[in-house]
Amino acid sequence: MKNRGYIGILFFILIGITPFALSFGYALLYSFGVIGVANSGFTLEFWKAVFESGEFVKSLFYSIAIALVSTVISVSLALWFTLAFEKKLRGRILSFVIYLPLAIPGIVASFFTVQVLSKAGFFSRLFNKIGITSGISDFPDLINDPYAIGITLVFISVVMPFFLLLFLNVYQNERVAELAELSRSLGASERQTIWRVSLPVLIKKTWTLIALYFIFLLGAYEIPLILGEESPQMLSVLIVRELKQFDLSKISEGYVVAVIYTVIVSIATILLFSNRKSQDIHE
Amino acid sequence: MSKLKSIALWAYVVAIMFPFFFLLLLSLSSDWRYPALLPEYFGLKNWVQVVGTESGLAYSFFISLVISLSVAVTATLSGFFISRYVSYHKKKGLLTMLTYFPYILAPVVFGACLSYYFLRIGIFGTTAGVIIAQFIIAFPYALIFFSSFWNEKIKNYENLVSTLGGNRWTTFTKVLLPMAKGLMMVCFFQTFLISWFEYGLTSIIGVGKVQTLTIKVFLFIKEANFYYGAMSCCLLIIPPVVLIYINKRFVFNKLI
């Protein structure tokens, strides 16, 4: 029995941990010039180049800003819909319809956004038809734009439906309706009930997932690849671009960014986990 | 205020339904140029060609299905069995945290760093390579998914079967698998969808040679062939919509 346990853990290490460790080790060695076709030995040159160019820092803050704005708007909208339409959303048809956005992957959402929000897209045509714009150039840049409007809109459209379903689930499991009723009967106003009872319960139960979704958005690839600008680029797009460079010295710089990104995400995971553990203990 | 609320709710419903209608309309269209609000041609021309070889969409659908089914079956089964050992291990917390690292990392970055090993093994740019790469990201999901199944209650059942003379095989086939059947179905479809929706990792490991539906969508965007792009999107959307219709739990799971 004990041997079987060891075999199970061995498989876990082999499939679950080894690929991650191997890929991180390879990226780390490449970033320091220890391995790689054009590299000749240990150097800090690529790390220096990455920080001096400023592109990575710009990309990091750009990614954080987009992920943060998208997460905040998605969570806020989902909370509002949950509290405003909790009963209606459990109706026969609506309870099916609100699941449908989960059937749309990021690449399809991006394709659809190009079709409706580009300068020759559906809304541009509609506005032209009803006389709001007089041509293709009058329609604003909503995709591949400097403010990442297209990326943010798609992130919201992908993430918000998930949070809505999540909050509806928690609303029912944690019996928020009964708690709200109790607080009202004890004399709390509608505003107090929402801010002091319903919202704290919903957020406390889901904040780990909210944080995880922020991290997922930080590393999103296909959506910013299709809807983003040439510069700045979101982290994953920047990493893949650098790794596919014809200039071999740039590949090492790509691995530097990959290593930093992996470290940031790993630290975030450890922090989330340790916080969750202490929360579990307190509960 | 309540009228505004109603408008907001209906606007949300319209926003949900609009992409489905629009993509279907686009897939049935051709010669839809600016500033026309409606297409000049509307019919089944594009879809008839799916059956033929011109677009390669039928093959992409088939290869996507093969990859996703392989990933889902292997990830679900290995996740179920291995999660037992992880969950009963005295260092469960640490092992579970380690599982999260590959799960939370952007698959495309993971794939880019792993591609060297795939090249050395000789599975770079092959369907087997894509299946293995996607399995590596689906497996941690399955592992985390089943971790809640292995609890004190299940352990007591296992001990009871053992006390009554049952061996390991009996415990798994007569007790554990029937108890976990529902969860295994959910995990199977969730890992199927992880693979079905995957783009970044597939593009890196498949290097354009393994043309799944997501890769096709991107190729059609680059070629500005929006009608075939819309068809690919419809093919991508159909399986998850069917799954939602059968059981919503297959698609939505508040994991973690």
Distance, CA of B86 to CA of B97 (rounded, Å): 11
Q: ipTM value of the model?
A: 0.92
The mean pLDDT value for B173-192 works out to 93
- Among B105, B234, B236, the strongest candidate for a mutation testing the A interface, having the largest count of A CBs within 10 A, is B105
* Tokens (6 digits) for A89: 């959303």
Q: Is A207 on the interface with B (CB under 8 A)?
A: no
Cβ within 8 Å, pair B35-A129: yes
Domains of chain B, residue spans: 1-43, 57-250
Instruction: Determine the Cα angle at B174 with ends B173 and B180, to 5°.
Output: 75
Q: What is the CATH number of domain B57-250?
A: 1.10.3720.10
Assigned token pair, B19: 């992409």
- Cα dihedral sign, B60-B61-B65-B68: positive
| pLDDT category of residue B254 using cuts at 50, 70 and 90 | low
**Which residue in chain B is spatially nearest to A115 when comparing CA positions?**
B226
Q: How far is B135 from chain A (nearest CA, A)?
A: 9
Eight-state DSSP code of residue B116? H
**B113 and A26 in contact by Cβ < 8 A?**
yes
Q: Is the pLDDT of residue B255 over 60?
A: no
- 8 Å CB contact of B200 and A116: no
Cβ-nearest to A219 among B109, B221, B236: B109
pLDDT, average across residues B119-128: 95
Taking only residues 25 to 64 of chain A, the set having a beta carbon closer than 8 angstroms to any beta carbon of chain B reads: 26-27
Q: Cβ(A67)–Cβ(A155) under 8 Å?
A: yes
pLDDT at res. B208: 87
Partner residue facing A102 (CB), from B88, B196, B240: B240
User: Is A171 in contact with A199 (CB distance < 8 Å)?
Assistant: no
pLDDT under 50 in chain A at which residues?
A: 281-283
Task: Report pLDDT for A281.
Answer: 44
Whether B206 shows a pLDDT value over 60: the answer reads yes
Give residues with Cβ within 8 angstroms of B163, minimum separation 6.
Answer: none
pLDDT in tens, A121-154: 999 999 999 999 999 999 999 999 999 999 999 9
Where do the domains of chain A lie, and which CATH numbers do they carry? 47-106+144-282 (1.10.3720.10)
A26, closest residue in chain B (CA to CA): B113
Question: What is the C-alpha to C-alpha distance for residues A204 and A148, in angstroms, rounded to an integer?
Answer: 30
Q: Considering only the beta carbons, identify the residue of A17, A22, A103 that sits closest to B244.
A: A103
Number of Cβ atoms within 10 Å of the Cβ of A246: 6
- For the beta carbon of residue B197, count every other beta carbon within 10 angstroms: 20
- Per-residue pLDDT at B256 exceeds 80: no
Distance from the Cα of B57 to chain A's closest Cα (Å) equals 15
Spatial neighbors of A49 by CB under 8 A, at least 6 apart, are: A253, A256
Tell me, yes or no, if B186 comes closer than 8 A to chain A by beta carbon: no
Q: Give the distance from residue B237's alpha carbon to the nearest chain A alpha carbon, in angstroms.
A: 6
Mean pLDDT across chain B, nearest whole number? 92
